[in-house]
Amino acid sequence: MESFWTAVEQLATGVARSKAINVNADVLREQARSVAQRWFRDERPACVAVGAEPEQLARIDGYVQDLLRLANGRNLKTSYTRVLRGLRRARPALQSHLDLLHGQALRPAAPQAMTALEAEIVRTLERMIPTAALAYRQVLADLAGPDRFSYRGSATELREVVREVLDHLAPDNDVIRSPSFKLEKDRRAPTMKQKARFILKARGLGDSSRTAPEQSVELLEDQIASLARSVYERGSASTHGATVKAQLLSFKAYADAVLAELLQLHSAG
């Protein structure tokens, strides 16, 4: 994480030294793109894996998305300065929370029993996407633990596990270049459902065989986000904990089925 913030500081220094009204230098714009890519490809997944709060990540997401938008054009130096200032101000809260989570992670934890499918998902993710394996383990621990009062973070973790697998197996550029692909309205990148379709079509599955996994992915993308928002809006997570846990268990059943399909665990020996 420290290297990411070092890159942010280097970019801020470079922008401050620029004497132009607009940031036109290719070097600075490439630095900005590199910062954005590092956040979304490396740092954000790592933060999700250790249980960072979605609100903190969303705040940084907004600044990084603004930075990427600026880097893809020729925009005012003052716009870069404003975005970078906001990004730097968001750092202390996130860093202190990550330090707290790290301390908690060092405490000995009782081993959690896993089903055969859960164990196979963990083993496969550990080989393929270690951060996703950690996130999936966190969901299992949250559901098994007796002292959990909020499952908002757990719901987000579950969705991000599926998202990371989809991103790994179906990079945006590959999906966009596929025949007959078209972005959905108001979208700048393929949806999770479109990525699932790309993967399953590449494996030669017909329309009927793809329907259930695609629908499950769409449900996870929409309903888990709705669940996380509803817990936040209700305010008292403990009052609704049992209901939310039941919903999360239902969504996890869909997620496990989707992961088994995407990771081809049904054909594992």
Say yes or no to pLDDT of 172 above 50: yes
Q: How confident is the model at residue 211 (pLDDT cuts 50, 70, 90)?
A: low
Q: Which segment of 12-26, 98-112, 154-168 scores lowest on mean pLDDT?
A: 98-112
Burial of 218 (0-12, 13-18, 19+ CB in 10 A): middle
pTM of the model: 0.52
Give the pLDDT mean for 188-208.
78
**Dmax over Cα atoms in the chain, in whole Å?**
63
Q: How confident is the model at residue 145 (pLDDT cuts 50, 70, 90)?
A: confident
